[in-house]
Amino acid sequence: MSNQMPISLHGGTKDSARTQFAALCWRRQRGKVQVLLVTSRRRKRWIVPKGWPMDGKTPGECALIEAWEEAGVIGHQGEDCIGVYSYERLREGQDTTPCLALLYPVKVQKVAKKFPEARDRRRKWVSRKKAARMVKHRELGRLITGFKPPKKEVVS
């Protein structure tokens, strides 16, 4: 985790927030767009992979690294943020921390069986509509529902 300074939402330290970079992992299956959700480690809620900024990495690169670590995703990230959602991160033995998560699309090419957090998480491919119902945060649900993948995919 880099030494990110808190971002103040309302001018006070009580309301300061941290930023995270999140991955909206997606694919086309039989012409339909699907997104990959993972469970959180402790509460087992359905979420998208996300994590803290990393020194020397772009936000999109951070999102791709988190997609690998939390979901075993191998793919290509977009560098354009498709939206921002907020949530409160509950840390063991601490108060909650307000967070702003910037969401980046990750086009999934392959999903590995072995990945760093495989023992801690489940993953599931679902439609955008179902994913929006499964995630707790309404803002994230709206971003998922509104996600429009590029019509023409660039292959590198």
| CATH for 18 | 3.90.79.10
On the question of pLDDT at 46 being above 60, the answer is yes
Residue 72 lies in a domain: yes
pTM value is: 0.86
| Neighbouring residues of 140: CB distance < 8 A, sequence distance ≥ 6 | 48, 85, 87, 101, 103, 132
Whether residue 67 is contained in a domain is answered as yes
Predicted confidence (pLDDT) per residue in 64-74, tens digit: 999 999 999 99
In sequence order, what are the residues at sequence separation of 6 or more whose Cβ sits closer than 8 angstroms to the Cβ of residue 80? 104, 105
> Tokens standing for 141?
């649900």
* Any domain includes 154: no
Which pLDDT tens digit goes with each residue over 107-127? Answer: 999 999 999 999 999 999 999
- Based on the structure, what is the number of domains in the chain? 1
Decide if 1 contacts 97 (C-beta within 8 A). no
